[in-house]
Amino acid sequence: MKRTIIDTDQMELQDKVVAIKRVTKVVKGGRNMRFAALVVVGDQNGHVGAGLGKAAEIPEAIRKGKEDAMKKLITVPLDENSSITHDNLGIYGGAHVLLKRAPEGTGIIAGGPARTVLDLAGYRNIRTKSLGSNNKQNVVLATIEGLKALSTPEEVARKRGKSIDEILA
């Protein structure tokens, strides 16, 4: 897997909290309450990432989740009508997210966690279907896996040694 380093200093990153879970650990003296925050960040221009932050207080968990998401930013391809370049299936754990191209004017048709990822990535026309597990963390990560596996027509043409017109025909 190729890793490209993305400079986050020049980007206007937005973040959204997808889920906050209260986690309890039973110890000798009682119960320890902690929080886990699932945060998605993106610049709405082809960059998106998700991270998990855990802390004793909610704001600290969100801050840690945002930092984790910024470390895991990926670049995703957008086509001319702000959709994906081809249909794809993203799988993470028990969650499967089907990503389908959509024509101009469709909007983002997606369930909650997947919608957040697609919106922050910059997609405006896309249809999705979440299959299998509906665990928010797994759905977010399955959506990102599906986007990570997308390739542009230029990349496919270069790999096959053909012109872009031959690929799109």
Residue type, 112: G
Q: Is the pLDDT of residue 163 over 90?
A: no
CB-based contact 160:133 (threshold 8 Å): no
Q: What is the DSSP letter of 8?
A: G
Q: Is the pLDDT of residue 111 over 80?
A: yes
Describe the strand order of the beta sheet including 14-27 as a list of residue ranges.
Answer: 14-27, 30-42, 47-55, 74-75
Whole-number Å distance between alpha carbons of 89 and 69? 22
CATH code for the structural domain at 77-168 = 3.30.230.10
SS3 9: helix
58: Cα separation from own chain's centroid: 22
Q: For the chain, how many residues are written?
A: 169
CATH code for the structural domain at 8-74 = 3.30.160.20
Domain residue spans of the chain: 8-74, 77-168
Q: Is the pLDDT of residue 71 over 70?
A: yes
Domains 8-74 and 77-168 share a fold: no
Using one digit for the tens of pLDDT, what is the confidence trace for 93-110?
Answer: 999 999 999 999 999 999
Please tell me the pTM assigned to this model.
0.90
Using one digit for the tens of pLDDT, what is the confidence trace for 124-146?
Answer: 999 999 999 999 999 999 999 99
